[in-house]
Amino acid sequence: MDFLYIILGVLLIAIIFGLISYFRIKKAVTNLTQEQFIEGYRKAQLIDVREPKEFAGGHILGARNIPQSQLRQRYKEIRSDKPVYLYDQNGARSGRVALFLKKKGYNQLYQLQGGFKQWTGKVKSK
């Protein structure tokens, strides 16, 4: 019986943690549909937060690759006075990147809803 309570406690903690993360990310970044993303990304900094291998396989035309794994060392390459448009494969990593950037003082943060796998616009491959 004690084992069941432990499992329920762990599940409850995981759900609470998930909800807190969700709402923190939601406050840090604005989700944009592809149409909204296309309207603004040319006037912004377009950052692909996927790993270099994923980026090389295809990315949105004009994007710079700053992988999430290198963000702590490279975030200063991103200007804080201009809008930042983020995307990844499906939308999870870009949310965490936005949270990190928000803590560093970035305010104009946007992410592509659904990520690159939903993208139907222009793509460049190496």
Percent of the chain with pLDDT over 70: 98
pLDDT bucket at 88, cuts 50 / 70 / 90: very high
SS3 96: helix
pLDDT at 18: 81
pLDDT at 126: 67
pTM score above 0.75 = yes
Average model confidence (pLDDT) for the chain? 91
SS3 122: coil
pLDDT at 73: 97
Q: Indicate left, alpha or beta for 48 from its phi (over 0: left) and psi (-120 to 50: alpha).
A: beta
Q: Is the pLDDT of residue 106 over 70?
A: yes
Burial per residue of 35-70, b for 16 or more beta-carbon CB atoms within 10 angstroms, e otherwise: eebbeebeebbbbbbbbeebbeeebbeebebbbbee
